[in-house]
Structure 1
Amino acid sequence: MKTFKIASIPGDGIGKEVVPAANKVLKTIADIHGGIQFNFTDFPWSCEHYLEHGEMMPEDALERLQNFDSIFLGAVGNLKLVPDHISLWGMLIKIRREFEQVINIRPAKVLKGIRSPLLNPKDFDLIVVRENSEGEYSSVGGNIYKGEDEIAIQNAIFSRKATERAMRFAFELASKRKKHVTSATKSNGIYYSMPFWDSVFEDVSKDYSEIQTDSQHIDALAAFFVTRPHQFDVIVASNLFGDILTDLGAGIMGSVGVAPAANINVNGKYPSMFEPVHGSAPDIVGKGIANPIGQIWTAKMMLDHFGEEELGSVLLDVVESVTNDSILTPDVGGNYTTEEVTNEIIKRLKIVEKQGV
């Protein structure tokens, strides 16, 4: 039997509602399979933890996390308690950087039964590969002077190593899909980093002659996500561009509540981290209506990462059978609770088990 050790960090807001829901689904998956099991260890790190201890997580947090097979995160942030730059850099980004989670991947597709705000979404199915370690989100810069002369300097860092790594990941992913990679650029407006990005993309593409490519300026690409998302397969983007595109991808699916994500460590030194795209949603905390699908789809991505792609596919199929029968939370037009949607997914997983699928 394969045992996967999971560090479960519900975090803030609805993370405390959807992570336990997804953990229940994963335990059901393990019961169905019989050959795997999940050992969850819960960590209470959050903005509330910060208020009590003056830190988002303990000094030895990374040491404690590094021996897990993966990290399953809910949400980080509560502006009423802690400024975002403290909460995010104190936990989420710290884990990403220190554990060398250099690739962020976020799929977006039409889910059966969930109405896209697009008039004719044409069953789009795309995935964004986001460089996750540097780019526009580097911590290089500073502030000088005060008053009307104050200046804030933020440096974007683009290394060939990290840029090429993200692009090769995208090409390898495309080779298993529809064999097309789109590069998100802005070389007509950003003088140094984006022409460099374009040059590396051209170099990498030479090693993948079977993959079709194109390059789109980010402003036009954002528009195309709305007008013709079905034409895209894999999109590779810088840290900032990938972040924006994937929120837009969640939007055209119908709700940020259904969007999954994975932060991938590619060298095997540290665990990868799986988290939904949505935030802590303080406006609906405690109401029992948070959409669990983003976290559950994220669990599917974790199964894929563990090499359990067949189980991951079964899980997503079951999720779509539930959404197709209009068992939905209010954010996507339904009137079901978090618990009701989760329990229906679990019920149908057990039916799949009985059918021997």
Structure 2
Amino acid sequence: MSMSRLTGSTAAAERAYTIDVIAGDGIGTEVVPAAIKCIDQVARCEGFTVDWRHRDWGSERYRKDGAMMPADGLEQLADGDGIFLGAVGAPDIPDHVTLWGLLIPIRREFLQYVNLRPVRLLPGIEPRVRDAGNFDIVVVRENVEGEYSEIGGRAYRGRPEEMAFQQALFTREGVTRVAKYAAELAASRTGRLVSATKSNGIIHSMPFWDEVVSEVATSAGVTLEPVLIDALAARTVLRPQSLDVVVASNLFGDILSDLVAAVAGSIGVAPSANLNPPGDYPSMFEPVHGSAPDIAGQGIANPVGQLWAGAMMLEHLGEARAAQRLTAGFEKALADGIRTRDLGGSADTHDFTAAVLERLS
């Protein structure tokens, strides 16, 4: 039984969650089972249960049926408490087919308008830049409009005059709600909010973004610093410790959060949460990394990003102690020198997962 359908004393006595699992492609099929083992152990320790509904959706399904997920796939997910995603993408299928066939429809249909991407230096991991300090950054990315809108098209295909246009979409409601989330998060931390912009070169959408974010930040009582995205990228490398909460449009947030993760040691450790803050729809949790076809099937993938995404999911479900226990488990393993190859270690996926499980009890 789902927690969303539990009330009163029943909820207190039976904490149970229904989570849809989409392992997807490549290393997703390796790191998702590893994370599920750890989450199940944490659940036993903390006295709740997780009912995993496994969905065989992804590129293999596309090759057989011509679709990444069933026609009623979104309806199948709608009554769950969350979605646990691994990775999407395959070398023989164009990325726009795989992403727009699975990941992006879920984000948009369920109004997961906040993409939350925390990055901090984890124990035992050296940053990839000198003098990085001990930074702790959260990128709050607008997740359903902006530069990734569906408005656009192509004309004169195959002719010399062939053309394509893509229309960015920024609505007052869309910018306001993501800015409000970021401002409230900043208020709970240092009170400082950086807004990624490019209003010196993008004449309409970015000044509009600046205006709306400024209004929200003023209302929330936080200190706002608008920074041009090119300067912000350089600052992320040169002075990451100067950043706390960053709010950004869909494109800028996507790129910037990958950069921050790389600075922190590896994109393999970075998690993300696709949130519907009002709770009207299920939220989705995934690592930032892709399907990594170059190492898929070798058993060497880093499961930290998936584990951290699982901890974010547990916290979102209200299981804060379980989230802390899971986070402490993989942090202790890293602190003890157990690292996968992308972090300069020799552990494989199984070894690292086993080390985390030992530290969860």
Q: TM-score, normalised by structure 2?
A: 0.95
Query: C-alpha distance in 2, partners of 1:133/1:19?
Result: 25
Q: Is the 8 A contact 1:318 1:348 kept in 2?
A: yes
Measure, in 2, the Cα distance between the counterparts of 1:314 and 1:230: 26
Residue number in structure 1 paired with 2:306: 295
Counterpart in the other structure of 1:208: 220
User: Which of the numbers 14, 22, 30 marks the counterpart of 2:43?
Assistant: 30
Residue 25 of structure 2 corresponds to residue 12 of structure 1: yes
Residue identity opposite 1:207 in structure 2? S
Contact 2:43–2:322 at 8 Å: present in 1 too? no
Q: 2:197 aligns with which of 156, 164, 185?
A: 185
Equivalent-residue separation in structure 2 for 1:16 and 1:329 (angstroms): 17
Q: Identify the match of residue 161 of structure 1 among 173, 179, 188.
A: 173
CA deviation vs aligned residue, 1:227-281 (integer Å, no higher than 9, x gap): 0111111000000000000110110111111100000012322100001000001
Aligned position for 1:116? 127
* Amino acid aligned to 2:68: M
Q: 1:114-153 to 2 correspondence within 5 Å?
A: 114-146=125-157, 147-153=159-165
Q: Percent identity?
A: 50
SS of equivalent to 1:336: coil
3-state DSSP of counterpart to 1:207: helix
Q: Is the 8 A contact 2:39 2:326 kept in 1?
A: no
Equivalent residues in 2 for 1:236-275, closer than 5 Å = 236-275=247-286
Residues in 1 aligned to 2:304 and 2:213: alpha-carbon distance in whole angstroms? 34
SS at the partner of 1:169?
A: helix
CA separation in 2, counterparts of 1:54 and 1:277?
A: 26
How many residue pairs were aligned?
Answer: 347
**Counterpart of 1:262 in structure 2: which amino acid?**
A
Preserved contact between residue 268 and residue 289 of structure 2 (Cα < 8 Å): yes
**Structure 2 residues without counterparts, runs of 5 or longer:** 1-13
CA distance in 2, matches of 1:265, 1:26: 22
Q: How far 1:285 moved relative to its partner?
A: 1.1
Any unmatched runs of 5+ in structure 1?
351-357
Match in the other structure for 1:59: 71
- 1:279 matched to which residue of 2? 290
Contact 1:110–1:121 under 8 Å retained in 2 = no
**Structure 1 runs (4+) greater than 3 angstroms displaced:** none
Work out the CA distance in 2 between the residues paired with 1:174 and 1:244: 21
Aligned match of 1:354: none
Q: For 1:16, what is the secondary structure of its paired residue?
A: helix
- Scaled by the length of structure 1, what TM-score is found? 0.96
RMSD: 0.9
Per the TM alignment, residue 159 of structure 1 is displaced from its structure 2 partner at its CA by 0.0
CA distance in 2, matches of 1:308, 1:180: 28
